[in-house]
Amino acid sequence: MDTTLQDPLVGQLLDGRYRVDARIAVGGMATVYRAVDTRLDRVLALKVMHPALATDAAFVERFIREAKSVARLAHPNVVGVFDQGAQGAYVYLAMEYVAGCTLRDVLRERGALQPRAALDILEPVLAALGAAHRAGFVHRDMKPENVLIGDDGRVKVADFGLVRAVGTATDTTGSLLGTVSYLAPEQIEQGTADTRSDVYACGVVLYEMLTGGKPHSGDTAAQVIYQHLNQDVPAPSAAVPGLAGGLDELVAASTARDPEARPADAVALLALSRRIRAGLTEEQLDAVPPQALAEAHDAAEDRTSVIPRVIPAGQGTAHHTSRLEMPPSGPVGPGRGRLGSLTRRGRRGMVAAAVAVLLVLGLGAGVWYINSGQFTRVPALLGQTQSAAEKRLSQEGLDLKGVEKAWSDTVKRGSVISSDPGSGERIRGNDAVKLVISRGPEIVKVPDVEGLALGDARRELTGAGLAPGMVTREFSEDVDRGKVIRTDPGTGTERHADSAVALVVSKGSPVDVPDVTGLSVEDARAALDEAGLDTEVLADRVHSPEAAGDIARQSPGGGAEAAEGDTVELTVSEGPRMVAVPDVTGQDVDEARSTLEEAGFEVKVDRPFLSFSDTVGSQSVEGGEKAAEGSTITIRTKGL
C-alpha cells in the first residue's frame, strides 16, 4: 500500500514555494520528501522535521545547524542544502535531490564488493568528510545509509543532522547519538566525538564493503558495544581469504581502538588509502568476492552481477570525485534504487586477445601493432576548458583516467593546468590521461552583489569562484523586493574558493495587513488590493458569528506584517450555527450560567429591582428554541 497517500504534506505547497510530490523516507527526526521548487522549476528533496519536535527549541536549533553546516561545505561529494525555512509546525530544509541508491542498498543486494569498487566508494566519502573536518565539523553518524550513489555514479555523503563543531562538548546525557555498529570506543565511553570518530566509522564501513558483514555483531546493542570496547576489528582477509594485506592495514589503522593510533582526520585517511591502493596489483584490486564466484559457477548468466571495475575520477587531493558506473534507478530512499548487472572487460584484455589471434593466424599486422601502432602522443591540452580537453582526448582515441582539481593564480577556473602524461608525451593508444583542472585562486574576495537580483548575484558569486549559499529573506525599506540586501560574509571578505556565501534578499517594505473580518468578499478584496496584497478565497466555509457570506477569518491576520504582493487567505462565513437553547428556569443563577455557556452561548443576568432571589424565573429565549451559537441569552431572576 502506498503510505504517501496518507501523508498530509503530499500534494501540498509548502511555504508558498515547494510542491510536495512524494514521501521518500522517514527517520527519527524528520521525513524526507521529493518536491519541486516552483520558482526555479527544479526537483529537490525536502527534509521536514517531525511537527512534534518542532516545539522543542533544542531540536530546531540542531536541525537548523545542519543547514548552516552543510551549506558552508559546498563540496561535490556532500548533498547540498539550498534553503531553510518554516511554515507553521513544519520546519524544513530544501536539499539536493539525488536519484540513485544508498550504499546500504548495494550491500544488501550484492554483499561484499571488489576491492576496487570499495575504494572507489570510500575515497569520495573521505573527500567529503575531509572537507568537513578541515572546515571544523564532525559528521558523527557515518554509515552505509548515509552514503548515496547517484544514477550518474557520483558518491555523496548525506545527513549531517548530528554534525557538531570540532571541539564542541558532545555529552549525550546517557544516550548515544549515532548507530551502534559504527560508534568509536570513545563515543561509547566518553560520549564525545572528533574527526577520528568519523575515521573509525569509515573503517567499519570499509570492512563491511570488503566482507559483506559488520565486524561486530550480537543479539543486543550491549553485545555490540562490548565488542567495540574490548575487541579489535578483525582483518577483512580473515573473512575473505585472499584479500591483499594492504587492505587489512587500511582497516586496522582506521579502526584502532586508541584514537591516537588512527589517522588524524579523513584527509589523512584518504592519503593512506591512496598510498595503499597504489601498492596493490590489478589482480588484487579486481579480486572477486566469494559470493560472486559462487554465483558465476552456479549460473553463466549471472557472471555480470559483480560490481564493475571502476576508474577513480581523481587522485591526489581531498576534493576529487570518484565515479561509479551505475544503471538508471529510482530515487534514493529505503528499498529504492539498485545496481544493475554489469561487467567491464578491461581494454588490456581485449587488446591482448586481438594480438593473440593475429599471431596465431600468422598476420604481420600483429607485429606492427606491438612495435609501433599502439603508441600515440598526448595532444596539447593546457589552457583548454575541461569539456574541450575531454573532447580532444576522445578524438585522439584516448580515455579519461580521472580529473583532479587544484588551485591556480594564473590558469582560469575550469581550464586545464596540466595532464598526466603531459602534452606531447608518448603514450600507448589504449591508455588514459588524467587532467588537472584549475579551481581558480585559492583565496578570493567576496564580490559586491548588494542591490542585484538573486539570480544575478548567484552568477557573480559563481564567477568569482565562490558557492551561493543559503538564502534568507527580510523586510527592507531601502532595497527593492527580490534584490540582495547583504551577504554573509560581507563584501570584500577573503575566503577560500568554493566557500559558500549566504545571501539576504529583500522582501520589500513591510505592509500592514488590514483586518477584513466581517466584511463582504468584495469589500475585503478591495481593502487588501489597496494595501498592495493579493487575495485567495478558500473554498471551504465555516460557521462563525459573522453573517453568512462575510469574511469569518483571514491568514495572516489583521495587524500582521507582510510583503507587497503577498497573498492573504480568506475564509467565508456560513453564518452562525443554530443551537437548541437549554431550559434553565428554576435553576440557580450559577448553574444556569454554566449550562448555557456549555451549550455555546454568552450569558447576561438581569435582576429586577429589589429582587434578592438567585433562582432563574425566565430567559430571553425559551428552552427548546434555537439561537445562534455564540449569541447572548439573558436570564432574569424571580422578583418579590
Domain boundary among 305, 321, 346: 305
Instruction: For residue 292, give the nearest of 304, 281, 284, 283 by alpha carbon.
Output: 304
468 part of a folded domain:
yes
The answer on 494 and 516 residing in a single domain is no
What is the domain-level CATH number for residue 37? Answer: 3.30.200.20
The answer on 295 and 213 residing in a single domain is yes
Known catalytic membership, residue 15: no
394 part of a folded domain:
no
Which cell numbers hold the place of 48? 521536514
Q: What pLDDT is attached to residue 254?
A: 96
Could you tell me the pLDDT band of residue 308, with boundaries at 50, 70 and 90? very low
Please state the domain count of the chain.
5
Chain centroid to CA 200: 23
- For 79, counting Cβ atoms within 10 Å of its Cβ (0-12 exposed, 13-18 middle, 19+ buried), the class is buried
Instruction: List the domain range (segments joined by +) for residue 133.
Output: 102-305
Asked, as a colleague might, if the bond just before 447 is cis with ω within 30 of 0, I would say: no
Which residue among the candidates 141, 194, 265, 498 is catalytic per the annotation?
A: 141
Task: Report in angstroms the alpha-carbon separations of 534 from 476, 528, 539.
Answer: 20, 7, 16
Q: What pLDDT is attached to residue 290?
A: 67
297 part of a folded domain:
yes
Which cell numbers hold the place of 259? 584514537
Sheet holding 42-49, edge to edge: 13-14, 18-26, 30-37, 42-49, 90-95, 81-87
330 part of a folded domain:
no
The answer on 546 and 500 residing in a single domain is no
Which cell numbers hold the place of 510? 513591510
The answer on 625 and 544 residing in a single domain is no
The answer on 118 and 243 residing in a single domain is yes
The answer on 212 and 146 residing in a single domain is yes
411 part of a folded domain:
no
The answer on 588 and 529 residing in a single domain is no
398 part of a folded domain:
no
Residues 237-267: pLDDT tens digits?
Answer: 999 999 999 999 999 999 999 999 999 999 9
Domain boundary among 572, 589, 608: 572
Q: Measure the CA–CA gap between 309 and 150, rounded to whole angstroms.
A: 17
Cβ contacts of 21-27, under 8 Å, gap ≥ 24? 24/331, 24/332, 24/333, 24/336, 25/333, 25/334, 27/159, 27/161
Residues 503-526: pLDDT tens digits?
Answer: 999 988 898 999 999 999 999 999
- Whole-model pTM: value is 0.47
The answer on 472 and 524 residing in a single domain is no
Q: Which of the pair, 211 or 289, is modelled with greater confidence?
A: 211
Could you tell me the pLDDT band of residue 316, with boundaries at 50, 70 and 90? very low
What is the domain-level CATH number for residue 210? Answer: 1.10.510.10
Q: Is the pLDDT of residue 306 over 60?
A: no
Domain boundary among 572, 594, 613: 572
The answer on 208 and 190 residing in a single domain is yes
What is the domain-level CATH number for residue 546? Answer: 3.30.10.20
410 part of a folded domain:
no
The answer on 107 and 80 residing in a single domain is no
> Residues near 505 by Cβ (< 8 Å), separated by ≥ 6?
454, 471, 472, 473, 474, 482, 483, 484, 485
Q: Which of 162-176, 244-258, 395-409, 461-475 has maximum average pLDDT?
A: 244-258
Q: What pLDDT is attached to residue 348?
A: 39
> Residues near 425 by Cβ (< 8 Å), separated by ≥ 6?
377, 378
Element (H, E) at 133: helix 115-134
Asked, as a colleague might, if the bond just before 556 is cis with ω within 30 of 0, I would say: yes
Q: Is the pLDDT of residue 371 over 90?
A: no
The answer on 233 and 145 residing in a single domain is yes
Q: What pLDDT is attached to residue 75?
A: 87
406 part of a folded domain:
no
The answer on 264 and 128 residing in a single domain is yes
